[in-house]
Amino acid sequence: MRREVVLPLFVVCFLASDFVRTAHSIWLSLPPSVTKCVSEEIQNNVVVLADYVVVADQTNAPTISAKVASPYGNVLHHAENITHSQFAFTTTEAGNYLVCFWLTDQKLEPGFEISVNLDWRTGIAAKDWESVAKKEKIEGVELELRKLEGAVEAIHENLLYLRDREADMRTVSERTNARVALYSIMSLGVCIIASTLQIWFLKRFFQKRKLI
């Protein structure tokens, strides 16, 4: 009986940890005079860690520039003339966070391009579990349970965020529908008034001309 209960819980926890795993390794091909960006929608109060490096066949790899911007346009990271770097921040705005890369040297041969590897981690994937384990002196199953607890909390926060977004979208939809209905009624009223005035002016015109 105990075995039948533990296995489903383990499967649920495994799926939960897989659901909130937000570590991405992204490869970008970067030609000259082109800016390439990657965006991700992140909610408020989430830790973001990222490392990026230029991968090129040459010994002296061309340098790049990078910029990270928040949904409201605040620059969170900006670096120029580099081949590798990293950044970390905690989100204070909910929305799409944008990271862009471009080659610093624009006078390269046509068809030349380099690859940029971006290791992007958010939420629970960005947490330093080794430091937590050393600080709290936990390991093995206890550490895995702590990770699963963090995963469940992250899922709960994501569900609350989605619920709030759905409520905001529903409010906007209802407000838009009300405005459309009001404008439709106003348009219909204007058409009726214009038609009535047109008929009245035509009737007076014909009466003055003694056509009716």
Q: Give backbone dihedrals phi and psi of 38, rounded to 5 degrees, phi first.
A: -130, 135
The answer to the question of residue 140 being in a domain is: no
How many angstroms separate the CA atoms of 40 and 51, rounded? 16
Q: How many domains does the chain have?
A: 1
Q: pTM for the whole thing?
A: 0.60
Token reading at 11: 């499967």
Q: Which of 16-20, 34-38, 55-59 has the lowest mean pLDDT?
A: 16-20
Eight-state DSSP code of residue 134? H
Read off the CATH number of the domain in which 90 is found.
2.60.120.680
Nearest to 37 by CA among 15, 77, 66: 66
The answer to the question of residue 53 being in a domain is: yes
Q: With pLDDT > 70 as the criterion, what percentage of the chain qualifies? A: 75
The answer to the question of residue 135 being in a domain is: no
Residue 33 banded pLDDT, cuts 50, 70, 90: confident
Q: Which residue has the tokens 């219909």?
A: 188
Q: Residue 50's domain spans which residues?
A: 23-126
The answer to the question of residue 117 being in a domain is: yes
